[in-house]
Chains A and B, each alone.
Chain A
Amino acid sequence: MTTESVPADDPRRLLADVRALAHRVRVDQRMTWAALLVLGAMTLLAIPFDWFGMQVDCNPDGSCTFARRGMLYFWPPAMVLAYATIAFCYLRAARTRGLGARVLPYAITGAVTTVVFPAAWLAVHLYFQSHPYPDGPLPYWFFVLDRLVMPWGMIGVALLVLAWLERNVGLLLFTAGYLALVLLVLPMNDGFGAPHFGIRAGMAVPQLIAGLVLLLGAFVFARRRRRSL
């Protein structure tokens, strides 16, 4: 950049400079790998809570019912802790680089997504206290919606907000793939079934896959960041 005034008939170059500088700042503010690392670690940490906190009641005919109490107690405080850690990492890294950071929209999203899961659980719980459980199979959209309001779906929503904040196309694509995985592919809400898995293992495996995908994303984004420096 030079210090002389640019002729007024060169607005394209000025605008291009403005866009390039804004992009440079956004790239320097990014800590995508840290966000994915924290969320991946939380996802893996949740597995033993789900495993040991799950209440399973089996009938003599072999049918079982289960309640995932451990998740309900683990995730709300874990999400608050995760998002606070991520915000702290962003602020600290940006400050070290000589920049401020925009974490408020992300913090708000974190707070909202933290509330959605227990609120949805409570709403469903209250609904089925006064309504009969449907006999036939539930529609597919119900399963997708159920998976969306679960912690792993909410992690995807928070990552979408982060991708928007960072104007990060790479993260957007990663998040789209992650959301497709946890909403459409992995049985996050009802687990892999018999005969290959018991109830607890059937629930743990999708969480393990989701956690590993997040950690893999963290690794890839960390490598990309190191290369760009």
Chain B
Amino acid sequence: MSTELILSLTSLLAIGLGYAIPLIFASMGELVVEKSGVLNLGVEGMMIVGAVTAFSVTVDTGSVWLGLLAGGIAGTLISVIFAVLAIHLLTRQVPTGLALTIFGLGLSGYLGKDLVGKTVPDSIVYPVPILKEIPILGDSLFTQTLPGYLAIIIGLVVVYVLAKTRIGLIVRAVGESPEVAHSIGFSVRKTRYAATLFGGLMAGLGGGYIALIQQKFWVENMTAGIGWIALILVVFSSWKPFRLILGAIFFGIISGLSFYMQAKNYPINPNLLNSMPFIASMVVLCITSANSKRSSANAPASLGQSYHS
């Protein structure tokens, strides 16, 4: 390969990965939520509240870590509202989640009024020795900020926990058949609470990452639909956590590819290029759902259904 091509691929990967990290946080959280049988459409709302809280705390303290932590806590607290309504009071999950998003957008706008125009310190990039020397991949994958690595590590931990541990098994059992899980002595309600709160934590961290590391400023509605893409990603990856990580990076690259090809002056209509993420999603969804037995088998059987014990 020519040096120029290698450089190009490296920058494309870097652009894609920058976009993918908040997606990994938020969609990994939502995956666990959905694995327990709960469909929380409030991801965007939890993310934006996480973003405004993280930003505000970092502006006050100067610490990105404290901000990120606060963002995670704020996301968790917001998800408690959903958990109480949908799991405890058995409201319908879809409208409850939508309401949570609207609530989050409004609340964050209110809380963030005084934050417009403020900035936070730059986060330091830590290249991983040796690994960063890998051609093409090294410079983009292994040259992240610490919270960036955190996203990937948490993602891998979730892959492991869901597949290999007792906790993961309980979560999956509750999502597949709450009646059976209940009958053998697991608490459906507690499991779903825990999963929902974890989803809130991760969405809050994702929002915090956007405000503190990706953009480093606050403007209203700044997540601009990332939460919805996180929701799509879960379906897109057929509820498989490892595929989800790859899917997030794929989405980031596809989204960046349009701008990248425009910047390289490929003679393709920009409108067509900008619709590539949608075209690519359709293609992948067609492929993954071609075998209907396999793809529907992956969706947790009780997804979106309230359970009254």
User: Is the pairing of A and B real?
Assistant: no
